[in-house]
Amino acid sequence: MLDTFNKDTQTVHVTLGERSYEILIGRHLLASAGEQIAALMPGARLAIITDENVQKLHLETLRKSLNAAGLKHVEFVVPAGESTKCFAQFERLVDEVLAARLERGDAIVALGGGVVGDLAGYVAASVRRGMSFIQIPTSLLSQVDSSVGGKTGINSRHGKNLIGAFHQPSLVIADTALLDTLSEREFRAGYAEVAKYGLLGDAEFFTWLEENWQGVFNGGPQREEAVARSCQAKADVVAADERESGQRALLNLGHTFGHALESAVAYANERLVHGEGVSIGMMLAHEFSERLGLLSQDDVKRVETHLTAVGLPTRISEIPGQMPPAQTLLDIIAQDKKVSRGQLTFILSRGIGDTFVEKGVDPDAVLEFLTEKLA
């Protein structure tokens, strides 16, 4: 399923019937975005949604590319940061897109990381009950995770991503050169999701990452390879279970614990960003699996060694500041949308690359485990 597009570009096909689309992965693709979009939807009008940080770095390149391709567009800039995924921004953007008289066949273009992608995707899903949607993810996290699978949405005071829609993009353009502008911390956080694809179902990929991670970080050709393999892994899971009724839940490896930690620090990025929560969450999921007698200590050690090698946190104690008691974390987990009829669902592991969905996890066992980890 992995084709070479030209010598520099890889293409991942996401197979979802009439909602199938392609992810283009390569360095400096942003400069030819207009050409790609014009080929896919000639004559379409576009609304670019981006944030204040990405605007400064990359909007001009996209603008030039769209103009060169003769594509008319409007631009909407939102504040950077998770708090932008809110009702007020959603309402404002929906109104702006309608005011610009964009039609169903026109497209919303998300230029940014996961926040911009989730928000813009939900706008695209909602205006006229669904407009076309194009993603140009600018962070490693959004290139390997949020741009595949069609999850869009905003946050609620009750939790993250509790309001939204499934809405597939028509095209994803992942320009790996844009990742050169990320901070080390942000790149590392995105890498947690890359490592996740190895841990959840592909031991060989995890081994490859153990050997090749420096190339991914340094912008060698290993970076495109890692992004493409990650997208392909997610695409395969999503194709099999678009609406998250079964196996798609595997993608939540590390996320049930991770989201609880993010929520516990009130999504304060200076304390914890999403990928760091996922990294600690994956570590906790493997340790909890070992506690349940499912996993060897050697495998747990391997997970810890690799995550630590790339500079990711693996312990709750690495989060600066005070953490709430274990019961509070458990309560947050119980309000998580992955709960079904009061039973706790976790992704557990029997070995590197061998995870499964466990729907009947005993809340008391989780409480005891978390109490220890917080001690």
User: Is 7 one of the binding residues for a copy of itself (CB under 8 A)?
Assistant: no
Give the total of residues touching a copy of itself (CB under 8 A). 36
Tokens 């005011």 correspond to 99
What's the closest the beta carbon of residue 116 comes to a copy of itself, in angstroms?
18
Q: Can you tell me which of 4, 20, 43, 67 binds a copy of itself, judged by CB under 8 A?
A: 43
What's the closest the beta carbon of residue 84 comes to a copy of itself, in angstroms?
16
Nearer to a copy of itself, 50 or 345 (CB): 345
Q: φ and ψ at 323, to 5 degrees?
A: -105, 150
d(CA 215, CA 205): 14
Based on the residue annotation, tell me whether 255 is a catalytic residue of this protein: yes
- Which of 138, 149, 86, 68 minimizes the C-alpha distance to 109? 138
Based on the residue annotation, tell me whether 248 is a catalytic residue of this protein: yes
Based on the residue annotation, tell me whether 58 is a catalytic residue of this protein: no
Q: Three-class SS of residue 280?
A: helix
Q: Within positions 279 to 308, which residues make up the interface with a copy of itself, using CB under 8 A?
A: none
d(CA 270, CA 292): 33
Q: Three-class SS of residue 128?
A: coil
Nearer to a copy of itself, 25 or 97 (CB): 97
Based on the residue annotation, tell me whether 193 is a catalytic residue of this protein: yes
Q: Are 257 and 373 in contact (CB under 8 A)?
A: no
What's the closest the beta carbon of residue 256 comes to a copy of itself, in angstroms?
15
d(CA 71, CA 137): 20
Residue type at position 184: E
d(CA 123, CA 135): 13
Q: Within positions 128 to 147, which residues make up the interface with a copy of itself, using CB under 8 A?
A: 128-130
Q: Can you tell me which of 16, 57, 68, 162 binds a copy of itself, judged by CB under 8 A?
A: 162
- Determine which one of 58, 73, 223, 259 is catalytic: 259
What's the closest the beta carbon of residue 126 comes to a copy of itself, in angstroms?
5
- Which of 252, 369, 357, 373 minimizes the C-alpha distance to 314? 373
- Determine which one of 210, 244, 304, 358 is catalytic: 244
- Structure tokens, 15: 């197979």
Q: Within positions 345 to 374, which residues make up the interface with a copy of itself, using CB under 8 A?
A: none
Q: φ and ψ at 177, to 5 degrees?
A: -70, -25
What's the closest the beta carbon of residue 75 comes to a copy of itself, in angstroms?
19
d(CA 61, CA 32): 9
User: Is 17 one of the binding residues for a copy of itself (CB under 8 A)?
Assistant: no
Based on the residue annotation, tell me whether 151 is a catalytic residue of this protein: yes
Q: Are 261 and 329 in contact (CB under 8 A)?
A: yes
Residue 185: count of CB within 10 angstroms of its CB:
13
User: Is 127 one of the binding residues for a copy of itself (CB under 8 A)?
Assistant: yes
- Determine which one of 58, 73, 85, 151 is catalytic: 151
Q: Can you tell me which of 56, 72, 158, 185 binds a copy of itself, judged by CB under 8 A?
A: 158
Q: Within positions 218 to 277, which residues make up the interface with a copy of itself, using CB under 8 A?
A: 243
Site residues (CB under 8 A) for a copy of itself?
43, 87, 91, 94-95, 98-99, 101, 103-105, 125-130, 151-153, 156-159, 161-166, 243, 335, 337, 339-341
